[in-house]
């Protein structure tokens, strides 16, 4: 009998297509592995279509529920990663009348047990991390929205230009142009920041 840890490790080593086939066979661990692999990047991608992170997270979660419930059609999916992105995009572009519902339900819920670092070095490290995150965010904020989306899909989500063009419904040349804009903007901001 295999331990849960070894099964988890084995599932994480499988390709997306293999995991989708296991989902077809109703293997919950395979769905969890796909979820863990793509949830964060799909949420980041979804922000380009919906500014409310709660709505994005809900829609991305719905995609995984839909994947589990439509297991009998999984054999039709040949490219799982682009498929997930396209489904998230489509879900976020659907008109929704209950977008604020989750916010209303979640209001007033606070974490009582927030902890503060007890060691000075932890505080310094946290401040440095926050400073780096702010600097990176400032640079990313200078990139035009569409170029930033394509940059994040390429660099953070590790999608190929062809996959990005299929997901967004644009030509590969358009993807290349947006990447050039993003990289030029980043380079200019880095040079500008070095001058100060």
Q: Which domains does the chain have, with CATH numbers?
A: 4-96 (1.10.1740), 119-194 (1.10.10.10)
| C-alpha dist (Å) from residue 129 to 9, 122, 135 | 30, 10, 10
Q: How far is CA 74 from the centre of its chain?
A: 21
Q: Measure the CA–CA gap between 78 and 130, rounded to whole angstroms.
A: 40
Through-space distance between the first and last CA atoms of the chain, rounded to whole angstroms: 61
Per-residue pLDDT, 43: 92
Q: Decide: 95 and 59 in contact? Cβ < 8 Å.
A: no
Q: Measure the CA–CA gap between 3 and 96, rounded to whole angstroms.
A: 43
Per-residue pLDDT, 113: 38
- CB-based contacts of 14, cutoff 8 Å, min separation 6: 22, 30, 33
Tokens at 187, concatenated: 């380079």
Residue 55: Cβ within 10 Å count: 22
Please state the length of the chain.
Answer: 196
Give which of 156, 146, 137 is closest to 44, Cα–Cα: 156
Q: Measure the CA–CA gap between 86 and 165, rounded to whole angstroms.
A: 11
Which segments in the chain show pLDDT lower than 70? Answer: 1-6, 95-118, 120, 193-196
- CB-based contacts of 193, cutoff 8 Å, min separation 6: 135, 139
């Amino acid at each position: 009998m295999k331990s849960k840890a070894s099964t988890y490790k084995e599932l994480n080593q499988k390709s997306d297509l293999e995991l989708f086939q296991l989902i077809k066979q109703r293997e919950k661990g395979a769905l969890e592995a796909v979820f863990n692999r793509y949830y964060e990047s799909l949420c980041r991608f979804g922000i380009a279509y919906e500014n409310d992170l709660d709505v994005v997270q809900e829609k991305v979660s719905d995609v995984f529920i839909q994947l589990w419930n439509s297991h009998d059609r999984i054999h039709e999916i040949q490219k799982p990663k682009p498929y997930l992105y396209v489904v998230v995009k489509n879900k976020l572009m659907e008109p929704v009348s209950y977008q604020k519902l989750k916010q209303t339900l979640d209001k007033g819920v606070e974490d009582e047990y927030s902890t503060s670092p007890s060691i000075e070095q932890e505080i310094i490290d946290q401040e440095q991390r926050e400073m780096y995150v702010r600097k990176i965010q400032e640079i990313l904020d200078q990139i035009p929205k569409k170029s930033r989306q394509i940059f994040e899909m390429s660099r953070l989500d590790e999608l190929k230009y062809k996959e990005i063009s299929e997901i967004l419904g644009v030509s590969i040349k358009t993807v290349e142009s947006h990447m050039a804009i993003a990289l030029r903007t980043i380079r200019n901001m880095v040079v500008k920041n070095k001058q100060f």
